[in-house]
Structure 1
Amino acid sequence: MLRPKILIADDHPLLLRGLEEFLKENNHVIIGTYSDGLSAYNAIIKEKPDIAILDIEMPNLTGLEIAKKCKRHSVKTKVILITLHREKKFFEQAVSYNIHGYLLKEFALSEIEACLESVSKGHAYFSDKIFKRFTNVVEEDNSIEKLTPSEVKILRRIAEEMTSSEIAEYLSISVRTVEKHRANIIRKLGLEQKPNTLLIWSQKNKLALG
């Protein structure tokens, strides 16, 4: 299996060099490193890396702004964001831009290998420290067994970022029925009643959804 081509961008030279050296030591293919967001985004468009590991805060363009541009222009590069921020607003904004990974900097080196493996297989990876804190999971992941086949179908579509209206049309059911399913899923999984909760959970657990 071919190793994914990886681009890294961080405006902190020591962190950038440390991450690059760590990944190269583990036989990953690094096609470029950048210290500002605009250079990184231009390189993403030109070089088309499989994965871009981006600091959230950078000059010219932030990691979040790059993720937003990639989503808007349907860029196939999968974005992993690394950050010092623990605020919920940054995480939820990142998820809305369809990022594939979200890591806290202090755990980046210990989690990056698992993150890259997951993202390479098409599954999102969020640091457990962030995921558990912001989704307020009170059940184990095997609580998916409590869901009905219809609810699992709804979750699969949510993981694909489909709206309730799009899901209703896709499954030939009413929007009201979709919303009822969503409420039941949140209750059964023990999640917070928040707008992005199911999107975050479904992306995190794509493999379990089949």
Structure 2
Amino acid sequence: MNTSIVIADDHPLMLRGLTDFLTSKGFNIIGSATDGNAAYNLIVKLKPEIAILDIRMPHKTGLEIAEDCQKNNLPTKVILITFDKEEEVFDQAKALNVYGYILKEFAVEEIETCIEHVVNNKPYFSEEIADYLESSPLNSHLDAIDLLTKSELKIVKLISENKTSNDIAEELSISVRTVDKHRSNIVAKLGLDNKPTSLSIWANLNKTHL
């Protein structure tokens, strides 16, 4: 149970509330910070198993910290706490392989369940968010999966594992140009926009269906 945790939030009350609550539940809070830079430095230095981060903080947002952790292969799993219900923010979090996403108004109710999931390598997202996104048009893309060929499905699966075109080309022994051609066919079939991240966000969101 003695999971090491770093917490960062620029609201002192929220920070103290969560720290006290988790400490009382037997979690090992090894550091806390009130801005993004301090939080990231703590993660680098202390390598906690979990970092609970406010999305909007001075200097670095929780999302930017998650991105830096991913870039630098830090083993810390990120849980974001936020008032944001915006789909775009949530999609970014998913694309960065964030492990948990909790709405602040439910933080104390949900944080323990969330940590339990994360410790077992299972992502956890606030039910409120899940309900909100279920009703969003994302699911209409699911039928489109049936339109993909076997090779395209293989590529989407590798994209959902955050592999680059070069990685995929190497793994499937095809040229990068062929991978890119497949990618643009997939984007067209799924009706996604042409932003470079759209496909990887979609692949991450629909991982379970691939």
The TM-score, its normalising length taken from structure 1, stands at 0.72
CA contact (8 A) 1:135 1:201 kept: no
Match of 2:102 in 1: 103
Match of 1:31 in 2: 30
Tell me: CA distance 1:7–1:204, structure 2 relative to 1, closer, same or farther (3 Å).
Answer: farther
SS in 1 for 2:5: strand
Return the alpha-carbon distance in structure 1 between the equivalents of residues 123 and 159 of structure 2. Answer: 13
Structure 2 unaligned spans of 5+: none
Give the partner amino acid of 2:106: F
Map 1:53-202; keep pairs closer than 5 Å: 53-131=52-130, 132=133, 136-138=137-139, 153-173=154-174, 174-175=178-179, 176-177=181-182, 180=185, 186=190, 199-200=200-201
- RMSD in angstroms over aligned alpha carbons? 3.7
Percent identical residues: 47
Return the alpha-carbon distance in structure 2 between the equivalents of residues 70 and 29 of structure 1. Answer: 21
Return the alpha-carbon distance in structure 1 between the equivalents of residues 150 and 113 of structure 2. Answer: 29
The TM-score, its normalising length taken from structure 2, stands at 0.72
Tell me: CA distance 1:181–1:65, structure 2 relative to 1, closer, same or farther (3 Å).
Answer: closer
Show CA shifts across 1:117-153 (max 9, x none).
33223333333433425963447x9xx9999976764
Return the alpha-carbon distance in structure 2 between the equivalents of residues 5 and 79 of structure 1. Answer: 12
Q: Kindly state the Cα deviation for residue 52 of structure 1 after the two structures are TM-superposed.
A: 0.4
CA contact (8 A) 1:123 1:207 kept: no
Q: Kindly state the Cα deviation for residue 183 of structure 1 after the two structures are TM-superposed.
A: 6.3
Match of 1:42 in 2: 41
Tell me: CA distance 1:127–1:134, structure 2 relative to 1, closer, same or farther (3 Å).
Answer: farther
Structure 1 unaligned spans of 5+: none
SS in 2 for 1:53: strand
Give the partner amino acid of 1:160: E
Show CA shifts across 1:62-96 (max 9, x none).
22232232233222211111111222332333344
Query: How many equivalent residue pairs?
Result: 203
Tell me: CA distance 1:146–1:48, structure 2 relative to 1, closer, same or farther (3 Å).
Answer: same
Q: Kindly state the Cα deviation for residue 42 of structure 1 after the two structures are TM-superposed.
A: 1.5
Q: Kindly state the Cα deviation for residue 193 of structure 1 after the two structures are TM-superposed.
A: 6.2
